[in-house]
Structure 1
Amino acid sequence: MPQQHYTSGEFAKKAHVSIRTIRYYDQKNLLKPAMHTKSGARLYTDQDFAKLQQILLLKYLGFSLSDIREMTIGSGDQQLLRESLQIQKRLAEEQLEEMKNVVGAIDSTSKALEQNEQVDWSKMLNLIHLTSMNQSLSLQYKNATNISARIRLHRDYSTNKEGWFPWLFKNLHLKPGMKVLELGTGNGALWSQNIDRLPEGVNIILSDISEGILADAKSEIGENSEFQYAVFDAQKIPFVDNTFDLVIANHMLFYCDDIPQTLKEIRRVLKPNAPFVCSTYSKRHMHEITDLVQSFNSNIVLSSTNLYERFGLDNGEQILSQYFNDVTCHKYNDSIEISEATPLISYILSCHGNQNEILLNHYPEFKHYVDEKVQGGFHITKDAGYFVAK
């Protein structure tokens, strides 16, 4: 069946937006026409409606046009589109929950006024201010999306079928009644994937600097009395000395602005001889992905900071030995074998470098390039592990 094309006017009418809006999105490189006629008129396809839907909903949810442009890279790819729709759903659910809170506050305020009771206007104003700050949540959700893309690549294409999280959990050696603190919990995968293996009576405090990401972890783990949640910076842990039987930092220590201060805090809240388990990776870890993008465009840098240089497998023992007496390293034996482009591209787009601004206008060429590279199989080295420090 031949693909149908729509003029700007037909496309705008069918989408219930103005022609001016369609032209504006073209000028801003948000929604380019599928093709032009010989006279230069814009032509759109049914596939372009999917991208327009994304743009309009993300705009409604409070994202800036520059955010939207980055978030809709590769929207013509069906798998990336499905992933984007799930993200949009979560954003809409979050806003719905906030609006329910506002409605509840309005009802209680109205009731107080009817009964001539004193109204706590500051509480009402704080709630409305919080709701109006919805745009600030965009970074949190983009971070959560990035974490999901990275976990999917490892989960679905790693050769070690035990998986990182079950392997790490097994090596924590949790015992009944232990009091545990995890710093930088992320989306809680360490616990949600091992929930049936928790010993009885263990008390686990999950922390993160991001309230939004911690909410995602709570949602993944579900209602479970063993878990408590706390938002704080690991450089200032809000617990007294000698509190925990175990502290965990899973691929997070290299993100801390002041690693020495963080380690001092961890040592302070640990009980005597209790272990600190922290994971990281080396320079060799997944270097093939960096090689791949730089062979496409040498200006692409996937990370402005080489995190393994801040705290990695090669220098981690030296750093930890300044604060702990007994430090041992344990390696995870794994690699990635993949022959599909989309999961690899999702991972690349999730990185914290300049790749998105470079790939924004070159996604089709990049997709074709990665398709060719992974055809017949593509090997990715994994060099990760954890330290135990006491």
Structure 2
Amino acid sequence: MKLPGYYSSGQFARMANVSVRTIRFYDKQNILKPSYVTPAGARFYTDSDFARLQQILLLKYLGFSLDDIREMTIDDSDYLFLLNSLNLQKKLIQDQIEQMQLVESAIEDTVRVIEQEHQIDWSQMLDLIHLTNMEKSLKSQYQNASNISSRIRLHKEYSTNSKGWFPWIFEHCNLKPNERVLEIGCGNGALWTENLNHIPSNLSILLSDVSDGMLRDARRNLPSGDKRFSFACFDCHSFPSSLSAFDLIIANHVLFYCNDLPKVFKQIQRSLKKGGHFLCSTYGKRHMIEISELVQEFDSRIVLSAEKLYEQFGLENGEALLKPYFSDVQCIRYEDSIELDRAEPLIEYILSCHGNQNQMLLERYHEFRSFVEKKTAHGFHITKDAGIFLCTF
């Protein structure tokens, strides 16, 4: 039997240079299902299945378990979905190359010490052991980067406000020549990459994040050798003691993740010069509410976020939390919404959330996709309830 655009299990395996047994194993493990099964049980695959197999084989090569791969991949034929996945896999390989170069350097240093001094430097050996364990962080870094990319795509391509979020934030920074700026929780540096042509040439900008992986992304995304930027890895609950006299400190969608806001605000106070400004962003309780309602309608067990982050620090309570620490607090809302008539970017966003949706949807993905396609066919509106607090110290 020959089906146009479909490959038999044997053909499919030969295309990927793997065994038919491997293809059947991935089917049995619910990682790669065939697109069509005949009444007699013959399995057939498509080019979209091949793209998914590429993801699986690459992640397996990079050391991820089948359970990890099941959570990190999804069956989707949208070319933008696949392009996004390939770009993220490229980033993952770049991270691993950098880590392996560190391991190589550490081994060379250890060998040199042993050859020259005829003894083992145990502290150097311990550093080497820690370096070889670095791959454990790759999964979380990959998923974090994937989540950020999915969210940026939805907002960037389907928002109604022609001035994007990062240009709007940048505009309110009101940067002046010779100022010193600190961004905490800088992520991949999007605030600066999207406004690169408008940054004064004589500015000093320190980008910080608690994640080494995010800082690597920020370094890659910004021009190499740009002396305006420096980087530091630290938790915003505990700034390095050397940080002081900043004209502006920025925290873009960071504070609702902090478990001790008074401590963070005191760190910011200590690091600002008198008359300096603190700009922080957050969202309100109606932000993206239609997405939660959509998944709840499909399956009431799905929770996209285990926490209501706006209750920790949101537009409704942010001013009261900030006022004890700053002489003036001004709330400015970002007027915007999302309008779309395609399912793919919405599904991608849903899968990027921090809740239990992936466990619930992986077994019912095609059913869920059909459900979202019907909901978006005639247009789908999503409320955006976000803004900033501009504070003076």
What is the TM-score of this pair, normalised by structure 1?
A: 0.91
Aligned to 1:143: 144
Deviation at 1:44, TM superposition (A): 3.4
1:219–1:241: structure 2 CA closer, same or farther, 3 Å change rule?
A: closer
Aligned to 1:218: 219
Q: Distance in 2 between matches of 1:196 and 1:10?
A: 51
Q: Distance in 2 between matches of 1:62 and 1:217?
A: 25
Q: Give structure 1 stretches of 5+ with no counterpart.
A: none
1:324 equivalent among 323, 326, 331 = 326
Q: Distance in 1 between matches of 2:391 and 2:105?
A: 49
Aligned to 1:276: 278
Q: Distance in 1 between matches of 2:165 and 2:11?
A: 51
1:248 equivalent among 242, 247, 250 = 250
Q: Distance in 1 between matches of 2:299 and 2:217?
A: 35
Secondary structure of the residue that 1:237 maps to in structure 2?
coil
Alpha carbons 1:149, 1:343 under 8 Å: kept: yes
Supply the AA of the counterpart residue of 2:290.
Answer: E
Deviation at 1:382, TM superposition (A): 1.1
Supply the AA of the counterpart residue of 1:283.
Answer: K
**Alignment deviations for residues 268-306 of structure 1 (CA, whole Å, 9 cap, x no partner):** 211122111111110111111111111111111111001
Aligned ranges 1:56-67 → 2 under 5 Å: 56-67=57-68
Supply the AA of the counterpart residue of 1:301.
Answer: V
Aligned to 2:94: 93
Alpha carbons 1:55, 1:68 under 8 Å: kept: yes
Secondary structure of the residue that 2:250 maps to in structure 1?
strand
2:299 equivalent among 297, 300, 307 = 297
Aligned to 2:182: 181
Secondary structure of the residue that 2:282 maps to in structure 1?
strand
CA RMSD of aligned residues (A): 2.3
Alpha carbons 1:141, 1:213 under 8 Å: kept: no
**Identity of aligned pairs, percent?**
55
Q: Distance in 2 between matches of 1:357 and 1:314?
A: 32
For the pair 1:28 / 2:29, whether they are aligned, the reply is yes
Alpha carbons 1:249, 1:279 under 8 Å: kept: yes
1:353 equivalent among 348, 352, 355 = 355
Alpha carbons 1:184, 1:249 under 8 Å: kept: yes
Alpha carbons 2:283, 2:385 under 8 Å: kept: yes
Alpha carbons 1:6, 1:45 under 8 Å: kept: no
Alpha carbons 1:251, 1:279 under 8 Å: kept: yes
Q: Distance in 2 between matches of 1:198 and 1:13?
A: 52
What is the TM-score of this pair, normalised by structure 2?
A: 0.91
Alpha carbons 1:208, 1:214 under 8 Å: kept: yes
1:28–1:202: structure 2 CA closer, same or farther, 3 Å change rule?
A: same
Alpha carbons 2:110, 2:124 under 8 Å: kept: no
Q: Distance in 1 between matches of 2:241 and 2:227?
A: 20
**Alignment deviations for residues 355-385 of structure 1 (CA, whole Å, 9 cap, x no partner):** 1111111111111111121113211111111
**Alignment deviations for residues 45-92 of structure 1 (CA, whole Å, 9 cap, x no partner):** 443222222111101112222221122113333321221111111112
How many residues align? The count is 387
Runs of 4+ that moved beyond 6 A: 107-113
Supply the AA of the counterpart residue of 1:269.
Answer: S
1:312–1:106: structure 2 CA closer, same or farther, 3 Å change rule?
A: closer
Aligned to 1:334: 336
Q: Distance in 1 between matches of 2:243 and 2:158?
A: 42
Alpha carbons 1:80, 1:346 under 8 Å: kept: yes
